[in-house]
A and B are shown apart, each in its own frame.
Chain A
């Protein structure tokens, strides 16, 4: 059994799932796949380079907004890739000021930026006389599911390939010590910019998928900071230094959410906070970090 076997088995299970014909199961799996894609993309900058973003929702929201604005003009198979391009270009454009700061300032800046964009979109929508947009004729759940599976697989592959590449090694060196990384020849500014651009790409399409899934758009909903918190918590629980981490973290949180939403939905956010504290204090590198450290000590 190779290291890839669990991934291939997982992929096979997700591939066979639509055959069950159970909408609930497909819906939950769709949600799980979108969280996996979002968390994997977050990992590229925040996990590898250690620039913790609390504003990942900005790319998700902008992608969603783009798909909503072009709904009825462009088919989704064009608007979704374009949404990726829009968020990539947006990230590269803002990377120069944003990546000049680090540590807690970067966390605050990314959070503030997401909120800023949310209020700009709200102002634009208000100016246009829109208080929510209804999307008619959206693709079926099965179609959206296949797209989510494709994006989650793509995001996982990108993370996997980058983790093993020179770029990945350079990003990890930046996370460990930026000045020391520069001293060994890592082109710090270029690598951070590439990672930021790449981390923004997949969320653009995921935001579009979520807008199509809910068939309703409201800025407060799609730019909800809870999206960023959930991505961060998934990455911390699973571990963000390993491609398995976002999958484990997203699976854990999706199951938790499904178990709680019907009986005690208010408990979900409280538990999210508790989990975040417990993992940051006890297992800052998540489940995968624990496994790695044990392997190194053995």
Chain B
């Protein structure tokens, strides 16, 4: 498989705090890479750097072999990167359908109003919000808002999806539904996915590989089964070798 995203020696400090240091990652087209680490490990900082919300202090980020460092978030989105936020940020006063239509009208393909609505209806059916399309999105449950965010990110025509804790706070049933939603969207839209998640069972199930961050450094990147018995990971997470 060809390389789609390449992160080279990425680093970022906040004042004296080293949030990310010398992180390298190569993601192939169609791959799902899980990102795990304790709070403050640098997971969301990595997303913010890829999505253009922050500029890296060191290193480079290549999407399809061309650097996206220094581009604004909207331009990075138009290059095919869609993201969700750790805390759901729906366009609260708009209906569920309007949220998705807006994303489809911008993003990569800038669809016209008719095509955007058609795409939005399709996506809402996949994420299970088809019957709630006319509901004000701010009134959705947490699970609904998370699914809406995923659909909105996909509606931009994203090729690379950055999912930031889309299963956090969900019940086991809702987690199972979200896993199914993400897998369906991936299959139907040929997506490459980076996913931050604390729900380990879900992360293990969905990921092809998992990158483990610890104090801003990548300590392991391997298949889920390998990660589960990696002594460095076990040490950091469970203190087994302490």
Contact = CB atoms under 8 A, between A and B. Distances in A.
Interface centre among B73, B89, B110, B134 (most CB of A within 10 A): B73
Contacts of B85: 179-180, 183
Contact of B74 (A177, A186, A297): A186
A177 B152 CA distance: 13
B89 A188 contact: no
Contact of B51 (A169, A181, A183): A183
Contacts, number: 80
Contact of B102 (A169, A179, A241, A297): A169
A186 B155 CA distance: 13
A185 B74 CA distance: 4
B8 interface: no
B136 A188 contact: no
B136 A184 contact: no
A285 interface: yes
B102 A182 contact: no
B4 interface: no
B92 A183 contact: no
Interface stretch (B24-32, B62-70, B75-83, B224-232): B75-83
Nearest to B91: A176
A133 interface: no
Contacts of A181: 91
Given A182-B74, A183-B83, A166 B105 contact: yes
B24 to A, nearest CB: 25
Interface in A164-205: 166, 169-170, 172-173, 176-177, 179-189
Nearest to B106: A185
Nearest to B77: A185
B103 interface: yes
Given A180-B85, A285-B93, A169 B74 contact: no
A276 to B, nearest CB: 20
B220 to A, nearest CB: 29
Nearest to A50: B93
Contacts of B108: 185
B94 interface: yes
A184 B89 contact: no
A166 B93 CA distance: 18
Contact of A296 (B72, B105, B136, B153): B136
B10 to A, nearest CB: 20
A185 B107 contact: yes
B135 interface: yes
Contact of B93 (A176, A187, A188, A297): A176
A293 interface: yes
B222 interface: no
B90 to A, nearest CB: 8
Interface centre among B51, B77, B106 (most CB of A within 10 A): B106
Interface in B91-140: 91-95, 101-103, 105-108, 110, 134-136
B53 interface: yes
Contact of A184 (B72, B135, B156): B156
Contact of B91 (A166, A172, A182): A172
B94 A172 contact: yes
A180 B102 CA distance: 11
A86 to B, nearest CB: 31
Given A166-B105, A186-B106, A180 B91 contact: yes
A237 B150 CA distance: 35
Interface string A281-298: 000010000000100110
Contacts of B153: 183-184
Interface of A: 166, 169-170, 172-173, 176-177, 179-189, 241, 285, 293, 296-297
State the 5 A-B residue pairs at the shortest beta-carbon distance, nearest first.
Answer: A176-B91, A185-B106, A185-B77, A182-B73, A180-B89
Given A173-B102, A176-B90, A293-B136, 4 more contacts: A172-B91, A183-B51, A184-B77, A184-B102
